[in-house]
A and B are shown apart, each in its own frame.
Chain A
Amino acid sequence: MTAAATTHLADNTLLEVERLTMRFGGLVAINDVSFSARSRQITGVIGPNGAGKTTLFNCITGFYKPTVGRLLLRGPGGQPFMLERMDGFRIGQKAKVARTFQNIRLFPGMSVLENLMVAQHNKLMHASGWTVLGLLGLPVYRHAEEAARDLAVSWLERIKLIHVADEPAGSLPYGDQRRLEIARAMCTEPVLLCLDEPAAGLNPKESAELSALLLSIRDEFGIGLLLIEHDMSVVMGISDHIVVLDYGSKISDGSPLEVRNDPAVIRAYLGEDEKE
């Protein structure tokens, strides 16, 4: 897993996507895309429907094996990982990439607090001596569980869901579920957080709160964020850097201002408008 990376990651680069291609049979969902994302930055990924944004996330988080290309990540402690070679769950476990889903995927029957405890599974498994010590009720495990609970509670306070901590996650309103999913991803203590349309279905007030939350995550934890978003007010407002995909290819890459004025981007989006 830790096979020495032949490509050297530039100093503050967190993720290096190199010539990534993903084919489904004859369909090329991602076509030769390269870009990089940095720590302490929000990298926006935009593009019309079906551009391949979610597929890109699925490659980064190990749900799909890329057909061609490399995904190089500077993991915890600066250790390099070649994500394209790793099993899906190991990317979350070892390389510390966390994600949310376009269609929210909470554990609906479990309580809000439990959702955040499950996110700390690997840490707690270790502390419980793979369950053996935990079953015996040793203090080592009890302390670890207390700490995990405190972390969960602090996140619930931050996303203002502490009053429903013991409710089933599935019973929350949509906007709350979105925030809970972000908090759950953060409870894995990631180095890279991938958010797939976190503002979808939120009202303007909630979107503004979301923007503030994402900025605070970036600044406080110093991690990198990859943000897929259709809501331009959110993505243009908080991204440090934006990558634009269209039909699987990268058509633009730069600061929000550069991207907004890029004729290729305007064409892609206007073309989309004409179809509708």
Chain B
Amino acid sequence: MTDVTQGRNHRAADTGPAAPNPYVESLKEALFTAVLVFLLGFLMVGYQTEVLQGKQMSYVTRYADVAWAVALMSAGRFLLTLTRFDRTLPALILGGLACLYLFGAGVIGVLELPIYESLFVTPDPLQPDTLPFEQPMVNVIFGLGALFVFAASARTRRRKTVGGQTIEVREAAEARQASFARNFSGILGPILIVLALVIPMKPWGDRQLVDSLVLVMTYVMLGWGLNIVVGLAGLLDLGYVAFYAVGAYTYGKLSTTLGLNFWESLPLAGAMAATFGIALGFPVLRLRGDYLAIVTLGFGEIIRLILINWQAFTGGPNGIGNIAKIDFFGIPFERNPAEGTMAFHTLFGLEFSTTQRVVFLYYVIIGLALITNFVTIRLRKMPIGRAWEALREDETACRALGINPTNTKLTAFAIGAMFAGFAGSFFATRQGFISPESFTFIESAVILAIVVLGGMGSQVGVAVAALLLIGLPEVLRELSLYRMLVFGGVMVLIMLLRPKGLLSYRVPTILYKDRKKKVMAPTPGAAQ
């Protein structure tokens, strides 16, 4: 709190005599919050019932937790109110420190780094831990609160310094941000690709890491596929996972009934998903905005319910098992291949190892994802891609120009669905087992979050977002219970700090001056 008093002396000069003193106002707010938190939290937090020896009910008191909650909440309220009066520095510093402490301790603790012991754990057995609360979740909640305070002050500060008074200033700032995003992506994109290609190799390669990255890359591919629908065509599709499921089940059925291998099934799975995209899209694409979102969400659920209930064909809730694992273009990865066939390791004269299959899977998904990316970039520069973006910007104007809106949207839907189908059959061959549980709404939400977070239409942004949203929870496995919480918090934060996504920019699809590359700040898509 010392910072605050210093801040007061420092700022006193520019407070008008009639204006309410920001510090007094903030203190009032903080006191009010303290009372409120105390009243609400005293019984709920302060006492916890416990069953003693399986029979008796008892309770333990947690007064310290109540005190911590009251203190932290009112401090947060105080800082936020100050921010409202444009006194952002205390919130920035204290919020930032609190974030660092809470998350730093949490992350270090979860990773069980030795430094945790020395930094955060005091030897006193009565106070085992210097984090304010016993339950990690409560710490995470307060961490998010601190993040919020930090973000709000950072935002207010930026608005004050960057300006926003005039449209020109704001546009210039947006253009600067976009051109930064572009330059940054231009550097980051190739680096990420090179990194992705070398990571499984010997000195770094580690089976667990590669396995996690396979998952991340699957989501990168799904994000790029959905980006066509949401980012380019501006169609808010909340049922994207349905096409992922169609692809997975297509391969599952083809593999278990007809014995087709992955490579034979891949085009069929894509075609099947695209067909579903057209079939589902046709009746719903006349709807706009929110209505479209609701109906696609419904269709996603319908597909899942069909998978659960059509026992005879889909195996119901038990799903489909024994799906053929991936093979090296017809050559299996097996220790003891069937009579008369060659296995991968004998062909290449290697020791048998299950890692070989994982690494191959990794390169397959990298290849599929890069194809998705490449096709998207090409499509954007085709008339169809321009029409997608034009539809996102103004459907009425498109009609007046003679563009068939239904067909144009359908192609976006179908192509997006096709890539989901590819990813789905990859998922099936990787898991060897699929069930409706893998295709719930939350998957659609995660994929959409990746697209929005990355910056709609930004290919590198989507990859970074997938790495953040899928990779981080993989790294912090212990935190998995609170994963959705952190996930929500990060989303809120990014939307506060970069409302258009992490790396959002738009380069025109055709240039008058070829040499000088232009960058523009993207307009918010219809879907936002």
Could you tell me the distance between the alpha carbons of A170 and B510 in the complex, rounded to whole angstroms? 17
Q: Which residues of A contact B375 (CB under 8 A)?
A: 135
Residue B386 interfacial (CB < 8 Å): yes
The one of B389, B401, B405 in contact with A110, judged by C-beta atoms closer than 8 angstroms, is B389
Write the A126-137 contact mask toward B (1 if CB under 8 angstroms, else 0): 001011001100
Q: How extensive is the interface on chain B, given as a class?
A: 35 or more
Evaluate contact between A89 and B404: CB separation under 8 angstroms. yes
Write the B374-401 contact mask toward A (1 if CB under 8 angstroms, else 0): 0100110011101101100110111111
Residue A210 interfacial (CB < 8 Å): no
Residue B509 interfacial (CB < 8 Å): yes
From A57, which residue of chain B is reached at the shortest CB distance? B400
Q: Which residues of B contact A134 (CB under 8 A)?
A: 382-383
- CB within 8 Å for A89 and B399 given contacts A109-B523, A166-B513, A170-B523: yes
Evaluate contact between A119 and B401: CB separation under 8 angstroms. yes
- CB within 8 Å for A125 and B384 given contacts A89-B399, A106-B397: yes
Q: Which residues of A contact B518 (CB under 8 A)?
A: 111, 166-167
A101-145 contacts to B, CB under 8 A, are 101, 105-111, 113-114, 117-122, 124-125, 128, 130-131, 134-135, 145
The one of A63, A117, A165 in contact with B513, judged by C-beta atoms closer than 8 angstroms, is A165
Q: Chain B CB within 10 Å — which of A110, A165, A170, A188 has the most?
A: A110
Q: Which residues of B contact A62 (CB under 8 A)?
A: 399
Q: Which residues of B contact A110 (CB under 8 A)?
A: 386, 389-390, 393, 508
Residue A168 interfacial (CB < 8 Å): yes
Evaluate contact between A105 and B396: CB separation under 8 angstroms. yes
Write the A172-204 contact mask toward B (1 if CB under 8 angstroms, else 0): 000000000000110010000000000000000
In the assembled complex, the CB of A113 is this many whole angstroms from the nearest CB of chain B, namely 5
Residue A234 interfacial (CB < 8 Å): no
The one of A90, A109, A166 in contact with B522, judged by C-beta atoms closer than 8 angstroms, is A109
Interface stretch (choices A43-51, A92-100, A220-228, A243-251): A92-100
From B394, which residue of chain A is reached at the shortest CB distance? A105
Could you tell me the distance between the alpha carbons of A108 and B389 in the complex, rounded to whole angstroms? 11
Could you tell me the distance between the alpha carbons of A253 and B382 in the complex, rounded to whole angstroms? 46
Residue A28 interfacial (CB < 8 Å): no
Could you tell me the distance between the alpha carbons of A167 and B513 in the complex, rounded to whole angstroms? 11
Residue B512 interfacial (CB < 8 Å): yes
Q: Which residues of B contact A88 (CB under 8 A)?
A: 399-400
Residue B506 interfacial (CB < 8 Å): yes
Evaluate contact between B379 and A109: CB separation under 8 angstroms. no
Residue A171 interfacial (CB < 8 Å): yes
Evaluate contact between B510 and A131: CB separation under 8 angstroms. no
- CB within 8 Å for A92 and B399 given contacts A109-B520, A135-B379, A167-B518: yes
From B389, which residue of chain A is reached at the shortest CB distance? A110
Evaluate contact between A114 and B510: CB separation under 8 angstroms. yes
Write the B504-516 contact mask toward A (1 if CB under 8 angstroms, else 0): 0010111111001
Could you tell me the distance between the alpha carbons of A188 and B379 in the complex, rounded to whole angstroms? 22
Q: Which residues of A contact B397 (CB under 8 A)?
A: 101, 105-107
- CB within 8 Å for A135 and B378 given contacts A113-B512, A114-B510, A170-B523: yes
Evaluate contact between A122 and B508: CB separation under 8 angstroms. no
Residue A153 interfacial (CB < 8 Å): yes
Q: Which residues of A contact B402 (CB under 8 A)?
A: 89-94, 96, 121-122, 188
Evaluate contact between B400 and A153: CB separation under 8 angstroms. no
In the assembled complex, the CB of A157 is this many whole angstroms from the nearest CB of chain B, namely 11
Q: Which residues of A contact B446 (CB under 8 A)?
A: none
Evaluate contact between A118 and B390: CB separation under 8 angstroms. yes
Residue A149 interfacial (CB < 8 Å): yes
Evaluate contact between A98 and B510: CB separation under 8 angstroms. no
Evaluate contact between B399 and A106: CB separation under 8 angstroms. no
Evaluate contact between A131 and B383: CB separation under 8 angstroms. yes
Could you tell me the distance between the alpha carbons of A228 and B510 in the complex, rounded to whole angstroms? 33
In the assembled complex, the CB of A104 is this many whole angstroms from the nearest CB of chain B, namely 9
Q: Which residues of A contact B520 (CB under 8 A)?
A: 109, 111, 167-168
From A133, which residue of chain B is reached at the shortest CB distance? B382
Residue B171 interfacial (CB < 8 Å): yes
Could you tell me the distance between the alpha carbons of A166 and B396 in the complex, rounded to whole angstroms? 23
In the assembled complex, the CB of B173 is this many whole angstroms from the nearest CB of chain A, namely 14
Evaluate contact between B399 and A63: CB separation under 8 angstroms. yes
Q: Which residues of A contact B359 (CB under 8 A)?
A: none
In the assembled complex, the CB of B381 is this many whole angstroms from the nearest CB of chain A, namely 9
In the assembled complex, the CB of A52 is this many whole angstroms from the nearest CB of chain B, namely 19
Residue A217 interfacial (CB < 8 Å): no
The one of B401, B411, B522 in contact with A92, judged by C-beta atoms closer than 8 angstroms, is B401
Q: Which residues of A contact B379 (CB under 8 A)?
A: 131, 135
Residue B107 interfacial (CB < 8 Å): no
Could you tell me the distance between the alpha carbons of A105 and B400 in the complex, rounded to whole angstroms? 10
From B393, which residue of chain A is reached at the shortest CB distance? A107
Residue A159 interfacial (CB < 8 Å): no
Evaluate contact between A118 and B400: CB separation under 8 angstroms. no
Write the B353-382 contact mask toward A (1 if CB under 8 angstroms, else 0): 000000000000000000000010011001
In the assembled complex, the CB of B4 is this many whole angstroms from the nearest CB of chain A, namely 43
Residue A215 interfacial (CB < 8 Å): no
Could you tell me the distance between the alpha carbons of A140 and B368 in the complex, rounded to whole angstroms? 29
The one of B171, B382, B387, B516 in contact with A135, judged by C-beta atoms closer than 8 angstroms, is B382
Evaluate contact between B394 and A107: CB separation under 8 angstroms. yes
Residue B403 interfacial (CB < 8 Å): yes
In the assembled complex, the CB of A230 is this many whole angstroms from the nearest CB of chain B, namely 21
A137-164 contacts to B, CB under 8 A, are 145, 149, 153, 156, 162
Could you tell me the distance between the alpha carbons of A69 and B405 in the complex, rounded to whole angstroms? 27
Q: Which residues of B contact A122 (CB under 8 A)?
A: 402-403
The one of A99, A125, A171 in contact with B171, judged by C-beta atoms closer than 8 angstroms, is A171
Evaluate contact between B510 and A149: CB separation under 8 angstroms. yes
In the assembled complex, the CB of A114 is this many whole angstroms from the nearest CB of chain B, namely 6
Residue A41 interfacial (CB < 8 Å): no
Residue A61 interfacial (CB < 8 Å): yes
Given contacts A89-B403, A89-B404, 11 further A-B contacts (CB under 8 A): A92-B403, A107-B390, A107-B393, A118-B387, A121-B383, A121-B401, A128-B383, A165-B512, A166-B513, A168-B521, A171-B171
15 A-B pairs with CB atoms under 8 Å apart are: A63-B396, A89-B398, A94-B402, A96-B402, A105-B396, A108-B393, A109-B389, A109-B520, A121-B383, A134-B383, A165-B511, A165-B512, A166-B508, A184-B401, A185-B401
Shortest 6 CB-CB distances between A and B: which pairs? A92-B402, A109-B523, A93-B402, A165-B512, A124-B383, A107-B393
A→B interface (CB under 8 Å)? 61-63, 88-94, 96, 98-99, 101, 105-111, 113-114, 117-122, 124-125, 128, 130-131, 134-135, 145, 149, 153, 156, 162, 165-168, 170-171, 184-185, 188
